[in-house]
């Protein structure tokens, strides 16, 4: 633009769509939520950055001074580089497992139905990791779970009705500043005294967020059923415990943070906390 001022700026709009890329070294069979309906996987890419603005500016003193005046009042420059972008997308996840229907109607009949031990079959299935005895066959039937997620495969754990990558991290902002004073020793040799501020605004750039929206757990009142509990991050209630022979009330904390809550910030390879440094550089 001129000897005293240089600048540049850029704006990018984009939308990356894919079918849920596999980032594993080897192919995994349970990465797809529903192999019979691949449309569930189609959606916004994990690396979709919808909007981005970036730019930089360098300002130097407009005058040209020589001799002692140039030594003290010349050679200054101030530079800034910054960027803003929309946050990356993420999907609402679930945690927990769907109970296996170990007490099916056939098992209920084999256990004696309404007139035998069928009621015990239905009661036992509400107790994970327990067994009930089939009096007819004389064997213990385990009560396992299908798998560590919503569809029982142990793989993809999103909620199909919510879709993939329908939520966004907060926007990321960064501004770096540098102030330089050049001191010339000769025509070929000079010193640069520099001061830098990285992430000068100390903006909180979120690097991790709680993506678990619902916890899957056994329904203790109905056999072969599961509950979806919304993860609000609030204290679900209290319990009474014995401490040194006396009863005390304690809060029961939710082990999962609230959905969408920030769990880490400024800890990535690019986005860090504000850092300031000074340096001396010899040019020859």
Query: What is the distance between the alpha carbons of residues 61 and 145, in angstroms, rounded to a whole number?
Result: 71
37-46, 141-150, 257-266: least confident range? 141-150
With 90 as the cut, is the pLDDT of residue 97 above it? no
19-28, 57-66, 163-172, 176-185: least confident range? 19-28
Q: At 125, is the pLDDT very low, low, confident or very high (cuts 50, 70, 90)?
A: very low
Q: At 250, is the pLDDT very low, low, confident or very high (cuts 50, 70, 90)?
A: confident
What pLDDT is stored for residue 143 in this prediction? 46
**Cα 85 from chain centroid (whole Å):** 17
User: Do β-strands 93-96 and 212-218 pair in parallel, antiparallel, or remain unpaired?
Assistant: parallel
Cβ contacts of residue 245 below 8 Å, gap of 6+? none
User: How high does pLDDT run on average in the chain?
Assistant: 80
Q: Which helix (H) or strand (E) holds 184?
A: strand 172-184
14-23, 110-119, 273-282: least confident range? 110-119
With 90 as the cut, is the pLDDT of residue 82 above it? yes
Cβ contacts of residue 215 below 8 Å, gap of 6+? 94, 95, 96, 228, 229, 231, 256
Better-predicted residue by pLDDT, 224 or 184: 184
Percent of the chain whose predicted confidence (pLDDT) is above 70: 73
Pair 194, 161: CB distance under 8 Å: no
Pair 194, 179: CB distance under 8 Å: yes
User: Tokens at residue 264, please?
Assistant: 């880490």
47-61, 64-78, 146-160, 206-220: least confident range? 146-160
- What's this model's pTM, rounded to 2 decimal places? 0.71
Pair 223, 125: CB distance under 8 Å: yes
**Cα 169 from chain centroid (whole Å):** 8
């Amino acid at each position: 633009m001129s000897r005293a001022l240089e600048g540049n700026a850029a704006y990018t709009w984009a939308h990356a769509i894919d079918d849920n890329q596999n980032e594993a070294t080897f192919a995994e069979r349970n990465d797809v939520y529903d192999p019979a309906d691949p449309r569930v996987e189609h959606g916004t890419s994990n690396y979709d950055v919808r909007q981005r603005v970036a730019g930089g500016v360098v300002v130097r003193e407009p005058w040209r001074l020589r001799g002692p005046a140039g030594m003290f009042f010349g050679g200054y420059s101030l530079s800034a580089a910054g960027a803003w972008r929309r946050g990356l997308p993420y999907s609402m996840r679930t945690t927990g497992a769907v109970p296996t229907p170990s007490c099916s109607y056939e098992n209920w009949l084999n256990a004696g139905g309404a007139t035998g031990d069928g009621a015990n079959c239905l009661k036992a299935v509400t107790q994970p990791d327990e067994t009930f005895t089939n009096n007819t066959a004389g064997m213990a039937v385990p009560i396992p779970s299908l798998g560590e997620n919503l569809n029982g495969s142990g793989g993809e754990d999103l909620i199909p009705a919510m879709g993939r990558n329908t939520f966004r991290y907060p926007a990321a902002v960064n501004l770096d500043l540098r102030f330089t004073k050049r001191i010339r020793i000769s025509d070929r040799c000079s010193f640069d005294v520099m001061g830098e501020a990285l992430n000068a605004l100390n903006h909180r750039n979120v690097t991790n967020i709680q993506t678990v929206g619902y916890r899957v757990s056994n329904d203790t009142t109905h056999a072969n059923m599961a509950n979806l509990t919304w993860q609000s991050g609030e204290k679900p209630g209290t319990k009474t415990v014995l401490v040194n022979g006396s009863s005390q009330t304690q809060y029961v904390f939710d082990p999962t943070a609230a959905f969408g809550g920030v769990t880490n910030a400024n800890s990535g390879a690019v986005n860090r906390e504000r850092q300031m440094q000074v340096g001396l550089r010899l040019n020859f």
